[in-house]
Structure 1
Amino acid sequence: MTSAHGKALFLWSVVAICVVVLSAPTVVVLGASFTAGNIITFPPQGLSLRWYEAILGAAGLRQAFLRSLYVATICVMIALPVGTLAGIALSRYRIRFEKTIQIYLLLPFTIPLIGSGIGLMLIFGEMRLLGQLWPIGIAVCVINLPFMIWPVVASVNALDIDIENAAANCGAPPVQTFLMVTLPAVMPGVITGSLLMFILALNEFLVSLLLVDARIVTLPVQIYNSIRSIITPDLAAISVVFIAVAALAIVLLDRLVGLDIFLRSK
């Protein structure tokens, strides 16, 4: 009993330390965003919403945020059909170069993002597309597409193939079976992957930095350019907005399909 109690105490201690370490930066940024002073301090110098009012009135930050939304939308629009069909194909069919594709699905964890970013910069440079926003959406989709494919694969693996066979036996053609049976069944994975792709694209910094110029920067690049001179509390406020958007997406994911879909995809 003593040994079991000691193991439980150790595990909970490790969990508590991990929670504190992971949440500490968010707590500091959150507190600093409500400061009444003119510089970032923690604990804050009084409490005020002045810096949230400041970012609402900052045209540059607002335009940069809209650009980030545009990039994220392009990314999701491409990832939806490509990732969904790829996930179904990988789960149901024997395809050529399957092992090569499986290796590609590990690229976000094995290849440094700077390497992928430079490669894409050279490709788009040869195509004379640098300085435009929509290629950023394509680039972010290419790099993060595995995060769309994994949840779809998990949903397909949980689908009973007899349901599709029953539809086919009732006379449904393959396209109708896919649209009326397969796609609704894997929709939890599609929703999960879409939300993940949206969050990743909205927060993408390095690829955006390499592919745009100073005229059309996204919000992460705008924040980076600002902190190179001085870090002001309005940057903490906009960071809290980013955190809130990501948290809202996670809540929607849990409410709509459950986080277990994403966890099973690993």
Structure 2
Amino acid sequence: MTEARSKRWVIGALVTLSLIILSAPTLVVLGASFTAGNIIAFPPDGLSLKWYAKVAGAADLRQAFWRSLQVALICTAIAIPVGTLAGLALAKYRVRFANLLQVYLLLPFTIPLIGSGIGLMLLFGEAGVLGSLWPVGVAACVINLPFMIWAVSASAGALDPDLELAASMCGAPPLQTFLLVTVPAVAPGIITGSLLMFILALNEFLVSLLLVDARTVTLPVQIYNSIRSIITPDLAAISVVFIACAALAILALDRLVGLDIFLKSK
């Protein structure tokens, strides 16, 4: 009993330490964003909402956020059909070289982002489309697409094949079976992957830095350009906005499909 209690204490202490380490940066940024002073500091020098008001009134930040939102929407719009079809194919069918494809899906995580970014920059530069927002959305989709595929594959793996067979026996054509049976059955995976792709694209920095110009600066790049001169509390306020967006996405994910679907997709 004493040994079991000791293990519980050790595990509890490790979990508590991990939670503190993970949450400390967020708490520091959150506190610094409410400072009443003119220099970013923690603990904050008084409490004030003036930096949030400054962010709300900054036209360049609003425009940069709108561009980031467009990039995230483009990325998600591409990822939904491509990731869904690829995830279903890998989960339901005997695809040739399936193991090789699984390894290929790991490439975005094994190749440094700077390498992927330079390659995409050269590709889009040769095509003469640099300076537009849609190449940034395509690049974000290419880099993060494995998340979408894994989320759909997790849902497709739990799909009962008898459902599609029953629809076929009832006379439903393949397209109708796909739209009315298969897609609703894997909808949790599609929703999970879509929300994740949206958040990842919204926060994409390194590839965006290589693909945007002065006319198409996204919010992460705008923040980077600002901190090169001086770090002010308004940047902490912007960071809190990003954290809030991620928290809302997680809340929506939990309400729509449950976090267990997301965890299984990992």
Aligned-partner residue type, residue 228 of structure 2:
R
Partner of 1:44: 44
- Matching of residues 40-189 of structure 1 within 5 Å: 40-189=40-189
Aligned-partner residue type, residue 16 of structure 1:
T
Residues 107-139 of structure 1 deviation map (CA, whole Å, 9 limit, x = unaligned): 232111111111111111111111211100000
Say which is worse superposed, 2-11 or 219-228, in terms of deviation.
2-11
Say which is worse superposed, 125-134 or 190-199, in terms of deviation.
125-134
| Whole-Å separation in 2 of the counterparts to 1:243 and 1:108 | 24
1:64: how far off? 0.1
- Matching of residues 214-253 of structure 1 within 5 Å: 214-253=214-253
Backbone CA RMSD of aligned residues? 0.8
- Size of the alignment, in residue pairs? 266
1:179: how far off? 0.6
Identity of aligned residues (%): 75
| Whole-Å separation in 1 of the counterparts to 2:109 and 2:71 | 22
Q: Secondary structure at the match of 2:94?
A: coil
Partner of 2:10: 10
1:7: how far off? 0.9
Say which is worse superposed, 129-138 or 192-201, in terms of deviation.
129-138
**Structure 2 unmatched runs, 5+:** none
| Whole-Å separation in 1 of the counterparts to 2:249 and 2:12 | 28
Say which is worse superposed, 232-241 or 125-134, in terms of deviation.
125-134
Q: Secondary structure at the match of 1:145?
A: helix
1:159: how far off? 0.9
Aligned-partner residue type, residue 194 of structure 1:
S
1:209 and 2:214 matched: no
**Structure 1 unmatched runs, 5+:** none
| Whole-Å separation in 2 of the counterparts to 1:51 and 1:104 | 45
1:20: how far off? 0.4
Residues 56-95 of structure 1 deviation map (CA, whole Å, 9 limit, x = unaligned): 1000000000000000000000000000010001111122
Residues 143-184 of structure 1 deviation map (CA, whole Å, 9 limit, x = unaligned): 100010111001001111111111111111111111111100
Q: Secondary structure at the match of 1:43?
A: coil
Aligned-partner residue type, residue 128 of structure 2:
R
| Whole-Å separation in 2 of the counterparts to 1:92 and 1:137 | 29
| Whole-Å separation in 1 of the counterparts to 2:154 and 2:206 | 29
Q: What TM-score comes out, normalization by structure 1 length?
A: 0.98
Q: Secondary structure at the match of 1:181?
A: helix
1:27 and 2:27 matched: yes
Aligned-partner residue type, residue 253 of structure 2:
L
| Whole-Å separation in 1 of the counterparts to 2:100 and 2:30 | 43
| Whole-Å separation in 1 of the counterparts to 2:104 and 2:4 | 42
Q: Secondary structure at the match of 1:155?
A: helix
Aligned-partner residue type, residue 181 of structure 2:
V
| Whole-Å separation in 1 of the counterparts to 2:169 and 2:92 | 18
Q: Secondary structure at the match of 2:213?
A: coil
Q: Secondary structure at the match of 2:31?
A: helix
Aligned-partner residue type, residue 90 of structure 1:
L
